[in-house]
Amino acid sequence: MSTNPEQIDLWRRAASEHQRLEFKEAKNQFDTRKLSEYCVALANEGGGVLLLGVADKPPRPVDGTQAFPDTIGTAEKLFQSVGFRVDIEAVEHPEGRVLVFHIPSRPRGTAYHHDGKYLMRAGEALVPMSEDRLRRIFAEGQPDWLEEPSRADLDAQQVVDLLDPQTFFELLKLPYPTDRIGVLDRLVRERLVDKADGTYTIRRLGALLLARDLENFPDMSRKMPRVIVYAGSSKLETRLDWTGTRGYAVGFQGLVRFVMTQLPQNEVIEDALRKEVKLVPDVVIRELVANALIHQDFMVSGAAVMVEIYSNRVEISNPGEPLVPVERFIDGYQSRNERLADLMRRMGVCEEKSSGIDRVVQAAEFYQLPAPDFRSGFRRTSVTIYGPRPFEAMDRNDRVRACYQHCVLKWVRSERMTNQSLRERFHLGEDKATIASQVIAATIEARLIKADESVGGSRKFARYLPSWA
């Protein structure tokens, strides 16, 4: 392979570093151990290019590097250190010498480690891979859990009795077949049911989506969603613990309706009239419950999607750590259960890719709720939605989180956040521009957003972008 200066300049113009591209200034030297760790991390993320001699901050000037003058010897040492070949090129750029490390992808089902650490990148840092991510890598090439059989050796009538094909056809907006054979043929074509030697097998995916009662499928018993209602704002007193037994698709509307009936109500005055409103709007519950069902990790045993309702908030969680960093939920999308997600979209349970979280954040702004709090914990992903709270009652974290999410929401719509747009998000008057500026400054300090340099240094016309944009 041969890299020319024009290719280096093309890489420099990238909007940001990403999983296949990393820059390091390294004017005089670069730690050999750190080089090995970056090669391992990039390989674990699919392979890519590491450039020494180029600053990692835009406009990424080429400062040149004197590190590793013997590229052949360095390649040999790297092989001994990491266990795979890394090709190294020394490119004479007009502005200085640049070292280009071409790092291959790890093999399927394998993760590389350095001194026992399976590394990946997180922002500018190198961190050990999570247990959840390692399990996904080692499971590559193995049969998909959802595609495995759940109930086998069934006749046609048993399949129809165990599943709810009527609702399935209604959700797909298809006419119901005139005979049972037509129903089963459709289920077979959708790969929810298999037919062989005159008998039928229901796949786990078919059971999970269409079961009349998931308790009839022993391997699905711990995948049923739970709704827990607490008497106050803590877990001290449980008022109700309910489990949904119907398949995710055929039982989704009922699940959302049940959650809505359990939400606390607040009294508000609108147009001089008092009325009761739910703590959280139904669009938020619908999108977040669907998201939790679709993106859960089915390989985490003994865990299910949970909706926990408190007097002042709702927490929705699912097994498994997210594939996308929580701060990128609004603009990013990656599903670990693509077939499940596709079928749920076709049946109208969820929206197009990535739009659900956008809708949640938009609803939080419209109803003047604190920003949703997305979190990744040990083998679990959760989001907390708080009830209405005026700006004055929000703490610093609430305000910074809302500012960041507002900025990202503007970005994905090809718009830009301004002081005015943030005031509108918080329902602040023009006289509160200074307060909005303080929130923006705090969010910049948290390294979540940055000023849009394309409009110059004018504070009056200042616009802001997510830090990664």
State the Cα angle at 143 between 142 and 145, rounded to 5°.
Answer: 120
Kindly indicate the confidence band of residue 168, based on its pLDDT and cuts at 50, 70 and 90: very high
Are 347 and 410 in contact by the 8 Å Cβ rule? The answer is no
pLDDT higher than threshold 60 for residue 239: yes
pLDDT higher than threshold 80 for residue 268: no
Tell whether omega for the bond before 59 is within 30 degrees of 0, i.e. cis.
yes
- Can you say how many angstroms the Cα of residue 255 is from the centroid of all Cα atoms in its chain? 23
Fold annotation for 224-386: Heat Shock Protein 90 (3.30.565)
pLDDT higher than threshold 70 for residue 274: no
CATH number of the 5-138 domain: 3.30.950.30
Instruction: Enumerate the β-bridge partners of residue 268.
Output: 275
pLDDT for position 152: 96
pLDDT in tens, 203-234: 999 999 999 999 999 998 889 999 999 999 99
pLDDT higher than threshold 70 for residue 459: no
pLDDT in tens, 359-375: 899 999 988 899 999 99
Computed over every residue of the chain, the mean pLDDT equals 90
Find the mean pLDDT for residues 158-174: 96
Cα separation, 36 vs 46, whole angstroms: 16
Domain 392-466 architecture:
Orthogonal Bundle (1.10)
pLDDT in tens, 409-451: 999 888 999 999 999 999 999 999 999 999 999 999 999 999 9
Q: What are phi and psi of 217, to 5 degrees?
A: -120, 100
Long-range contacts of 349-358 (CB under 8 A, 24+ apart): 349/171, 349/248, 349/249, 349/252, 349/290, 350/287, 350/290, 350/291, 350/294, 351/287, 354/330, 356/287, 356/288, 356/290, 356/291, 357/287, 357/291, 357/329, 357/330, 358/330, 358/409, 358/412
pLDDT higher than threshold 80 for residue 400: yes
Kindly indicate the confidence band of residue 324, based on its pLDDT and cuts at 50, 70 and 90: confident
pLDDT higher than threshold 80 for residue 303: yes
Q: Look at the chain and count its residues.
A: 469
Cα separation, 338 vs 121, whole angstroms: 25
Q: What are phi and psi of 152, to 5 degrees?
A: -125, 175
- Between helices 282-295 and 338-346, what is the axis angle to 10°? 140
What whole-number percentage of the chain has pLDDT above 90?
72
Cα separation, 426 vs 406, whole angstroms: 10
Q: Are strands 48-52 and 21-24 parallel, antiparallel or unpaired?
A: parallel
Cα separation, 11 vs 3, whole angstroms: 11
Name the residue with tokens 């972008």.
465
Instruction: Enumerate the β-bridge partners of residue 317.
Output: 306, 382
Find the mean pLDDT for residues 3-31: 90
Instruction: Enumerate the β-bridge partners of residue 22.
Output: 50
pLDDT higher than threshold 60 for residue 353: no
Name the residue with tokens 């391992």.
40
Name the residue with tokens 């939920």.
329
pLDDT for position 354: 56
Helices (H) and strands (E) in the chain, counts: 15, 19
Q: Where are the domains of the chain?
A: 5-138, 145-220, 224-386, 392-466
Least-confidence region, from 15-19, 214-218, 380-384, 438-442:
15-19
Cα separation, 298 vs 205, whole angstroms: 11
pLDDT for position 352: 55
Residue 441's SS3 state is helix
Q: What are phi and psi of 448, to 5 degrees?
A: -100, -30
Kindly indicate the confidence band of residue 272, based on its pLDDT and cuts at 50, 70 and 90: very low
Cα separation, 3 vs 19, whole angstroms: 19
pLDDT higher than threshold 60 for residue 284: yes
Please give the DSSP secondary-structure letter assigned to residue 73: H
pLDDT for position 457: 63
pLDDT for position 221: 83
pLDDT in tens, 21-67: 999 999 999 999 999 999 999 999 999 999 999 998 888 999 999 99
Cα separation, 35 vs 48, whole angstroms: 14
